[in-house]
Structure 1
Amino acid sequence: MSPRAPGAARWLRHAAALALLAILAACGGGGSDDAAAPAASPGATPGDTAPDVAAGSNVVPILLDRGTDGSAINSPFVSVTLCAPASGNCRTIDHILLDTGSVGLRVKASALGTLALPAVNAGGGVLAECGLFASGFAWGSVRSADVRLGGQQAAALPVQVMDDPAGPYARVPADCSDTGPALADAGSNGILGVGFDVQDCGSACASSVVSRLPGVYFSCTASGCSIATAPLASQLAHPVAALAGGDNNGLAIVLPDVPVGGSQRVAGSLVLGIGTRANNQLGGTAIYTARANGSFSTTYKGAVLPAFIDSGSNGIFFPDAAIPLCSSGFYCPPSPLALSATATGVNGASVAVPFTVVDASSLPSGTAAARLGGSVVLGSSFDWGLPFFFGRKVFVAIAGRATPVGPGPFWAF
């Protein structure tokens, strides 16, 4: 196994680099030319089903398995249907990584099959994006698609088609490739980014500020691609925020707990909306507000660290020089370590969260491991990765969107 931390993408905002690790997969041919909502996976074992979620058109199944290439661990996957805008020409793509650390839908070009999506125009050319991550870059076109999540649809949504082989996109510009290596594979056909923001880059990429940032958006013509601004309406957008109807203020991720030895398959639910239906009510769930960049605070062994909750990270990642490391970057203590850290929202709400870290090299080859931890990748921060989600319902409130307890951004769990 290898660490994937932190999540899929933290974008450059206001000239501050918040890019986080994303590991995407070359497509394993996991699409289908139909528009059916994903069904519960065959072969699920008792305990796979996430608790306390009533069925509805706002519920999308989550599956944790080994991914398209057998390498995935602690990877929550959903299926997403893309259609050419205002048409019946659709394709459902499985194994899209559900990630609270990014915004926007990114799909491998090879997963689209024969589905043709129109390009988004920009600056006399067509728009492309260089996804900037701690581990490298994801290059591809920006195209328009109707996106279906369960029984809900976002119309004409800008999405990234990664590794698009079409003419103007085939060659990666140096302003993108010079940022690092291309991203590696880890069993997915793309990423569904469901973080706090409505667009993935926002005003920084819509104004002249872009000239002071590494290239994010590019205008491409037959002669090549050059850094360009991108209006908000053309940027990759939060798919949930763009849904028609009332379930567009946030979401909840619901996963069951997993046994000590891990599990080969786990089923859960992505629930769209917060306080909009009977199955997405907050009830007495505690609220932890976040800063504009999505962070809050976590205190670990007396140190107050910037922190985030990231379903795209496959472990809990934090700095602790006293814990032995495996060669993989995961922690490998000689015996299980019972630890605790205190999460604190900007609003002052605070909770002690116990967790356990075990020797990663001793774990079986199960795809869900609740006790997986590792050394932090980006500086001194605390990444509450996927193990934090097991046995919880975790709400993500989109920035500026109204909820029964006030506008986002906030976490609730």
Structure 2
Amino acid sequence: MRCKHSFITALLGILVALLLTACGGGGGSGGSSSTPAPAASATNASPAAAALAANAAAVAVDFGVIGVQNMPFVSVTVCTPGTTQCQTIDHVLLDTGSWGLRVFASQLPASLALPQETDASGNLLAECMQFFDGYTWGSVRLADVQIASEKAAQLPIQVIDPGYSSTPSDCSSIGASRNTPTTLAANGVLGIGVFKHDCGPNCVQQALPATYYACAGSACTSIALAEDLQVANPIPYFSTDNNGSILMLPAVASSGAASLSGQLVFGIGTQSNNGLGSAQVIGVSTSNGTFKTVQNGTTYASSIMDSGSNGLFFQTSGLPVCASPNTAYYCPNSTEQLSAVIEGVNGANSAVSFEVGDAATLSQADTGDSAMPLLAGPAYVNSAIFDWGLPFFYGRNVYVAVEQESTPGGMGPYVAY
């Protein structure tokens, strides 16, 4: 989600998952927010939330808001700056492929007054955040954001609100509105990727359509915006443990799991529980956060590490696409054992083995499983992109180092595992 031209997105997995759950029986059905009864499969768990360190937050993979597989959720507390007027929001999508916190106005009580951010000219700020086939729209507000015991004061966040002002036509023309928890399949998005701001220098240099706006009444005008006013990744604004994070999830059997518990640990090499150890450091582009993947002789030059995608997404002729309406996924006749090499911009190479199953059969057979490690497909990505979505994270500790921050593995940005 690094501005208009980027392909990195939290919503890639959400959108394609909705296709599968709507007709394959996986997850929920009919937009229900209730969790289906578990099938005969394991529930994997990490230590109880009470045992978590101060710099660690509980992560849950469950059916969440509308019953989508492979979605990791955290709870986030937002407060009126400098006060104890706060609201904790659960089932916020944890996304290593985007930057910044986005919550719905509908999740915030009227008593919680978050001041709207203004630019140097006093303009009230709003944002259109673009996804692959849709957008979120709303004002930019200031909030004290707390996750576990870590706090970022007066952080710019997006408050998603389709009723705010009048959605600019260059925003609404992008695709479907993702302006409700149901259409987003979460109560918000917590972007903790490698960058500090969601648009960066691109928005400083010029006004980009369908990005940031100055609003007066119902009229909103596209504007350039300084980085320090842009919606921000909270991690580099913590007072401690602010150079990155680790997403720790247990392994999942190929048959799936009803639910999953893990943790998000803040900092890299700052506490006894977040050392880098022997993890392989994969340097990523300082401009767009990508690296290379080589799979079956094909080089995917724009690869990403994205917990917000619910499968592994890449285009290949080596796997059959599922029949309609599940064409977002692959459906091989039997589970395929595959391998790839991840290549960092720092010259590091890492061999990775993974499996791809028949998504249609899995969704029908494992209707009670929210964690499904064999999902993969071609949806929304182009031939340059290999999206290492949540199945990659199962059974790994995945590190994300923030740009311009020092860590035991060198200066960010990088990912490691």
Q: TM-score, normalised by structure 1?
A: 0.87
Deviations 1:281-313 (A, max 9, x none): 001111111112111100011111121110000
CA–CA separation in structure 1 for the residues paired with 2:203 and 2:350: 36
Q: TM-score, normalised by structure 2?
A: 0.86
8 Å contact kept, 2:260–2:371: yes
CA-based RMSD: 2.3
Deviations 1:141-186 (A, max 9, x none): 0000000010110000000001253xxx232011211222213725
Match of 1:86 among 79, 82, 86: 82
8 Å contact kept, 2:334–2:358: yes
Matched residue SS, 1:269:
strand
CA–CA separation in structure 1 for the residues paired with 2:352 and 2:142: 41
More helix by share: 2
Residue in structure 1 matched with residue 344 of structure 2 by the alignment: 345
Residue in structure 1 matched with residue 380 of structure 2 by the alignment: 377
CA drift at 1:237: 0.7
TM-aligned CA distance change 1:159 to 1:204, over 3 Å: same
Residue in structure 2 matched with residue 38 of structure 1 by the alignment: none
CA drift at 1:68: 1.6
Q: What stretches of structure 2 of length at least 5 have no aligned partner?
A: 19-30, 35-40
Match of 1:111 among 101, 104, 107: 107
**AA at the equivalent of 2:82:** A
8 Å contact kept, 2:236–2:244: yes
**AA at the equivalent of 1:134:** F
CA–CA separation in structure 2 for the residues paired with 1:77 and 1:61: 9
CA drift at 1:235: 0.5
Deviations 1:121-149 (A, max 9, x none): 13443100000121111110000000001
TM-aligned CA distance change 1:124 to 1:10, over 3 Å: closer
CA–CA separation in structure 2 for the residues paired with 1:151 and 1:226: 38
**AA at the equivalent of 2:371:** A
CA–CA separation in structure 1 for the residues paired with 2:151 and 2:370: 30
TM-aligned CA distance change 1:234 to 1:186, over 3 Å: closer
**Map of 1:14-413 to 2, 5 A cutoff?**
16-20=5-9, 22=11, 23=14, 47-49=44-46, 55-69=52-66, 71-114=67-110, 115-122=112-119, 123-163=121-161, 165=163, 169-183=164-178, 185-207=183-205, 209-210=206-207, 213-245=208-240, 247-292=241-286, 293-306=288-301, 307-326=303-322, 327=324, 328=326, 329-363=328-362, 364-365=366-367, 366-380=369-383, 381-413=385-417
CA–CA separation in structure 2 for the residues paired with 1:156 and 1:164: 23
**AA at the equivalent of 1:127:** L
Q: What stretches of structure 1 of length at least 5 have no aligned partner?
A: 1-8, 31-43
**AA at the equivalent of 1:65:** D
8 Å contact kept, 1:317–1:373: yes
**AA at the equivalent of 2:9:** L
CA–CA separation in structure 1 for the residues paired with 2:352 and 2:47: 21
CA drift at 1:322: 3.1
CA drift at 1:108: 1.3
Aligned length: 379
TM-aligned CA distance change 1:200 to 1:258, over 3 Å: same
8 Å contact kept, 1:318–1:374: yes
TM-aligned CA distance change 1:152 to 1:45, over 3 Å: farther
Deviating above 6 A after TM superposition, structure 1's stretches of 4 or more consecutive aligned residues are: 27-30
CA–CA separation in structure 1 for the residues paired with 2:122 and 2:83: 26
Matched residue SS, 2:294:
strand
CA–CA separation in structure 1 for the residues paired with 2:8 and 2:168: 19
8 Å contact kept, 1:219–1:227: yes
CA drift at 1:113: 2.5
CA drift at 1:276: 0.1
